[in-house]
Homo-oligomer: A and B are copies of this chain.
Amino acid sequence: MTITSTELQEKGSAAKEAATQLRRLSTEVKNRALRNIAEGLLAKEAAVLAANQEDCDAGKGAGLSDALLDRLLLNHERLAAMAADVLQVAQLPDPIGEVIDMRTLPNGLQVGRRRVPIGVIGAIYESRPNVTVDIASLCLKSGNACILRGGKEAVNSNRALAWLVQEAITAAGAPAHAVQLIEDTDRALVAQMLKMRDVIDLLIPRGGADLIRHVADNATMPVVTGGIGVCHTYIDASADVEMAVNVAYNAKCRRPTICNALDTLLVHQDVSAAFLPAIGRRWADAGVEMRCDDRALRTLNAAEIAGLRAVAAREDDFGKEFLALVAAVRVVDSSAEAIGHIERYGSGHSEAIVTRDYASAQRFLDDVDAAAVYVNASTQFTDGAQFGLGAEVGISTQKMHARGPMGLRELTSYKWIILGDGQTRP
């Protein structure tokens, strides 16, 4: 289906109108809509999977990689997991209406901040169709309308899911235009969307680095960027070697393809002789390729590890997000050098130190400027559900508005409310 620029404007106006209704919608209606979506995902499984099959067939025909095809694929288990996630959002407390810091001033004025929705959220994303349901349900619960623009590979899946969502929310008494999908995947429409500042209050790009950079560079409205994680784990001189191996192994291998996975391992020289062969063995078994600076490579090679895949690093291996079983490795002379390396090469996502030294831990927490800074834990914990937010719309690596995992509360703004009995200002 092709839509014109005028139709996109109309979708925008409809979203704005829906947003004014959504901001007054009761928690009860919002939760009913969410439960309807969860039921719909189970009840309409056949139709959704048939639409997804079309996308997967087309993707195979177009020669998509196995990784992309896997992202695209829906099946019974994945739909059930999506439904469970939506029910979880229904169970989270409604952030809207909460009043923060209400106080009574000496003149009797009561002043506080009341949490309100942002308005209309735009989302531009790539192949994973579950993003359609994720963002729709988080926006709905937080009282925001959304305009979704998924990737062309998932167009049939997204259409089926959006249709199901719209039916579910209408049946619950929520405005039909609360969730709208742009089915046309013409690139010109993205360009237009980036200019719709009068309509879209916040734009969330989800996908690869190119997409995110394009949106950040060209959008005329606020954008929450993130999802690019060049993550370091620094093994301090005083680290417990067994703990360090477990943490580094988990940070790389639990899921190597997500943004909070370890990319570069920094190792203090004093612990390198003990630590590097130990992690080298674990990573060799897992098939991790290690791209090493000179000192790390010498230490690893000297350890004669079976199956070791250690090569010399190129300069651009530092600062690279691998999203694969690959890690850059560097030996440093001090924790200051490690922190300097992170400052230079990190993307401000998730950074960890493994140490037994109190001062080293405090200094790392103080000096590393990232969305999530860890002491003695795997960076793979950076996630809305793990941090207790219940769910997340993305992970911000910027400092304005929200940083790190963004849950329902991060999809809100506030307004000051002032209750008086005739006060005038002297």
Q: Which residues of A pack against B, CB within 8 Å? A: 20, 23-24, 103, 105, 109, 111, 113-114, 116, 118-119, 201-202, 217, 220, 222, 240, 243, 246-247, 249-251, 254, 343, 361, 365-367, 369-378, 380-382, 386-388, 398-401, 403-405, 413-425
Contacts of A202 in B (CB 8 A): 400
Given contacts A222-B222, A388-B105, contact A377 B418 (CB under 8 A): yes
Docked-complex contact A243 and B422, CB < 8 angstroms: yes
Q: How many copies of this protein are present in the complex?
A: 2
Contacts of A118 in B (CB 8 A): 399-400
Partner of A418, one of B111, B366, B373: B373
Contacts of A103 in B (CB 8 A): 388
Docked-complex contact B372 and A420, CB < 8 angstroms: no
> Quick one: which of A103, A373, A418, A420 has the most chain B CB within 10 A?
A418
Given contacts A377-B418, A416-B404, contact A399 B119 (CB under 8 A): yes
Docked-complex contact B250 and A417, CB < 8 angstroms: no
Partner of A374, one of B240, B370, B386, B420: B420
> Quick one: which of A365, A370, A399, A405 has the most chain B CB within 10 A?
A399
Given contacts A103-B388, A381-B423, contact A400 B376 (CB under 8 A): no
Docked-complex contact A381 and B422, CB < 8 angstroms: no
Partner of A425, one of B343, B365, B378: B378
Given contacts A400-B413, A417-B373, A418-B377, contact A386 B425 (CB under 8 A): yes
Interface residues of chain A: helix, strand, loop or mixed (majority): mixed
Docked-complex contact B403 and A416, CB < 8 angstroms: yes
Docked-complex contact A424 and B370, CB < 8 angstroms: no
Contacts of A419 in B (CB 8 A): 361, 374-377
Docked-complex contact A376 and B422, CB < 8 angstroms: yes
Contacts of A222 in B (CB 8 A): 222, 398, 400
Contacts of A425 in B (CB 8 A): 250, 254, 378, 380-381, 386
Given contacts A118-B399, A386-B425, contact A416 B373 (CB under 8 A): yes
The distance in angstroms between the C-alpha atoms of A105 and B389, with both chains bound, is 12
Chain B: CB-nearest residue to A254: B425
